Structure 1
Amino acid sequence: MSQLPASRRSFLKTVSASIPLVTTAGIHPVAAPKPDPVRLSCNLYSFNEPLVNKTMTLEQVLTFCAETGFAAVDPTGYYFPGYPALPDDSYTYLIKRKAFRLGLDISGTGVRNDFTLPDPTRRKAEIDLVRRWIGFAAKLGAPVLRIFSGKNVPEGHSRPEVARWVVDAIGECCRYAAQEGVMLVLQNHADFIETADQLLDILKQVQSDWLAVNLDIGSFKIGDPYAQIAQVAPFAVTWQLKENLFVDGREVETDLTRIVRIVRESGYRGYLPIETLGKGDPRQKVPVFYEKVRRALQG
C-alpha cells in the first residue's frame, strides 16, 4: 500500500488536533415512555339492538370498533348464530380471523346462566351450558368468559342455601375452565349479587385461581358505588365501564376521573371494556363515550 505524502500526513494531524473530541460521557438516551397498561375494549352489548334486529352484522360491528380506535372487543356469546347452541367452528374462526385482521384483540366473551334455580337438574344444565361456552371461548381466543350467579333467592329457600348452589356450580365450572385455559369472571349484576361483600364472599368460598371479577360499575345500586368499586377492583381482571351508575339507588352520570383513579390505584393491567346502554344509535353513542373514557385515562 502506498504511503501518504509527508505534507498530507502533516495536514491531517493538524486538522484532527483542532476537532474537539466528542464522547458519550454524561449523555443518556431518552427513555421511551412506558405503554399504558390499560387499553380500551368494546363490550358488544353496546350494539345489542342492531345485532338483534340484524341491521348490523357481527363483522360490521368489529369493523366499526376498529375504526373508532378500540384495541379489542368483547363479543357476548348470544350474538353468535344458534345461541345457546354453539356456533359452527367455521364461523367462530371467521370472527377470530376478522378481529385479527382488523388489529383487534378478543378481550373476553360472555354467556347467560342462572345458578340460583331450585331444580338440581336445571342447575346441572346451566353448568353444562357454561362448560360448552368455556370451550368456545378457548377456540375464539378469549382469555375470560363472563358468567352470572343467578337471578334471586327462590321462594321457600334461604340465601345461604342458594349461595351454596352458586358456589358449587361455579367451582365445578372452574375446574373445567382450568383445563381449557380460560378464566371465569363473575359479574355483579344487581341480581343475586347486589353488593361488593356478596360478590367477594362467593369468590372466597370458591377459592379458585381460575375465578375473578368482571367489575360492572353500573350494577351496584345500593349505597355508595365508588366505595364498592374500590373494594372489588383488586379482584377484577376485566371491567364494564358504563355512562351512568347508581348512587344510593339514584342514576347519575359516571365520574370517569374517579373511576380511572380507582383503576390506577388497584394496579389493574388489561382491558377496560366500555358498554353503552339505553336508547340511541350506538354508532353515535359509542364513539362519544369512547372519547370521554380515553380522555379520562390521559388526564
Structure 2
Amino acid sequence: MHRRDFLKHAALAAGGLAVWPRSAFTRPRKNLYEISLAQWSLHRALFAKELDPLDFPKVTRQTFGLDAVEYVNTFYREHATDRAYFAELKKRCEGEGVRSLLIMCDGEGHLGDPDEAKRLQAVENHRKWLEAAQFLGCHSIRVNAQSAGSYDEQMRLAADGLRRLAELGDTYGLNVIVENHGGLSSNGAWLAGVMKLVDHPRCGTLPDFGNFRIADDNWYDRYQGVAELMPYAKAVSAKSHDFDKEGNEIHTDYFRMMRIVLDAGYRGYVGIEYEGDGLSEEDGIRATKALLVRVREALAETYE
C-alpha cells in the first residue's frame, strides 16, 4: 500500500471511530454477585440414582447455565480418598468450564464435642475432605458446629474444635466455614460469638437464608441472623422452598436479604439451595436462579 493510500484508509478509520458508540470501548459491568449451585438442590435425584454425582458439573452448566458448584460430601463418601475419582470429577469441571467452590461436610463427628478425644477425632475426620477440596480447587469446606452443654460451654467447645480445624485448613490453603445448621448454630448471636473466639482468618461463616430453627418451634429471626453472620461470611446460601405466582420466595424476602448481604460488602458467589416440594428440583432451581437474577438487576444501580 502506497503512503497516500495508507493515510486515506487511516483517515476513514478515524472517522469511523468518531461515530462508534462509547459502549464499544467500555468493559461490561461486573455483576454484583455470581450464582452457583449447591448440590443438595438435586439430592432427590442423587439419592434415587437418577443423577451420577460425576455429572453434577455438566448438569450445572448445560441445564442451568451456571458456572460454579458446591458439593455435598454425602454423595462422595465412598470415594473420599479415591484420587482417580476426583481426578475424573475435576476433568469434567474443566471440560464444562465450571468452578469448584466448596465441599459441604456432614457426618464427620462433632467439632464441639465435650469429649476432647472425640473433638480431636472430628477435626482429623475432616482432613480427607480438605485434601479433596484442595485437589478440586475449592476455597473452603463447610462444616458444622455441633456441641453439647450450656450456651457458653458450647461456644467455647465449638470454638476450640473450629480453631484446630482452621489451623489444619490453613496448611491446605483452605477456609473452614460454618453454616447455621440447627441447634445453637442457628442462633446468629451465638455463632458470631464463636467466630470471635476462634479468631482465625481461615475460619468464617456460610449464612443460609432459611436454617434458623434452633429447636422445634423455636426460630431465630432470619434477617437478624444473616446480618450477624455476614461480617464473617466467605460464602452465602440462598435457601428456597416455595414461590408465589410472581416468582418470589414466600418465606424469605430476597430483596431484603440480598441488601443485608450486599451492605456487608459481600460480592462473592451466592449458592442456590432449593429444598422445596412444590416444584420439581429442576423447576425449583430455575425459579431460585430467576429470582436471584431479578434481584441482582434491580439492585445493580444502588450498589454499583
Q: Name the TM-score class by shorter chain.
A: 0.7 to 0.9
User: Which of 103, 122, 126 is residue 130 of structure 1 equivalent to?
Assistant: 126
Q: Is contact 1:109-1:144 (8 Å) kept?
A: yes
User: Which of 78, 84, 91 is residue 90 of structure 1 equivalent to?
Assistant: 84
**In 2: Cα distance, 1:76 partner to 1:214 partner:** 14
Structure with a larger share of its residues in helix: 2
**In 2: Cα distance, 1:145 partner to 1:103 partner:** 21
**In 2: Cα distance, 1:252 partner to 1:224 partner:** 15
The answer to whether structure 1 residue 103 and structure 2 residue 100 are counterparts is no
Q: Deviations over 1:191-231 (max 9, x none)?
A: 23122111110110010010111111111243432132123
Aligned to 1:240: 237
User: Which of 169, 174, 177 is residue 177 of structure 1 equivalent to?
Assistant: 169
1:249-260 to 2 correspondences below 5 Å: 252-260=250-258
Q: Deviations over 1:31-90 (max 9, x none)?
A: 32321141110000111122122121013332221121112010111211416xx24101
Aligned to 1:187: 179
Change (3 A) 1:24 1:60: closer
Change (3 A) 1:80 1:220: same
> How many Å apart are 1:131 and its aligned residue?
2.3
Aligned to 1:274: 272
Aligned to 2:216: none
**In 2: Cα distance, 1:24 partner to 1:60 partner:** 47
Q: Is contact 2:112-2:160 (8 Å) kept?
A: no
Identity of aligned residues (%): 21
Aligned to 1:261: 259
**In 2: Cα distance, 1:102 partner to 1:79 partner:** 20
Change (3 A) 1:64 1:28: closer
**In 2: Cα distance, 1:22 partner to 1:104 partner:** 42
Task: State the number of aligned residues.
Answer: 271
Q: TM-score, normalised by structure 1?
A: 0.82
Aligned to 1:248: none
Change (3 A) 1:208 1:40: same
The answer to whether structure 1 residue 225 and structure 2 residue 217 are counterparts is no
Aligned to 1:216: 208
**In 2: Cα distance, 1:62 partner to 1:270 partner:** 19
> How many Å apart are 1:252 and its aligned residue?
4.6
Q: Is contact 2:113-2:158 (8 Å) kept?
A: no
**In 1: Cα distance, 2:199 partner to 2:43 partner:** 33
**In 2: Cα distance, 1:244 partner to 1:189 partner:** 16
1:101-180 to 2 correspondences below 5 Å: 101-112=95-106, 113=108, 114-150=110-146, 152-153=147-148, 157-180=149-172
> How many Å apart are 1:288 and its aligned residue?
2.1
> How many Å apart are 1:121 and its aligned residue?
2.6
Change (3 A) 1:23 1:224: same
SS in 2 for 1:267: coil
Q: Deviations over 1:124-153 (max 9, x none)?
A: 221111222112211111111001101x52
**RMSD, aligned α-carbons:** 2.8
The answer to whether structure 1 residue 201 and structure 2 residue 167 are counterparts is no
Q: TM-score, normalised by structure 2?
A: 0.80
Unaligned runs of 5+ in 1: 1-8, 10-14, 246-250
Aligned to 1:48: 43
> How many Å apart are 1:278 and its aligned residue?
3.4
Q: Is contact 1:137-1:145 (8 Å) kept?
A: yes
SS in 1 for 2:184: coil
Q: Is contact 1:127-1:169 (8 Å) kept?
A: yes
**In 1: Cα distance, 2:119 partner to 2:37 partner:** 30
Which AA in structure 2 matches 1:224?
D
Which AA in structure 1 matches 2:29?
K
> How many Å apart are 1:24 and its aligned residue?
8.7
Aligned to 2:302: none
Which AA in structure 2 matches 1:62?
P
Report which of the two structures shows the higher radius of gyration computed on alpha carbons: 1
Aligned to 2:296: 297
Q: Deviations over 1:12-34 (max 9, x none)?
A: xxx9xxx9x96999x99543232
Aligned to 2:60: 65
> How many Å apart are 1:116 and its aligned residue?
3.5
Q: Is contact 1:185-1:212 (8 Å) kept?
A: yes
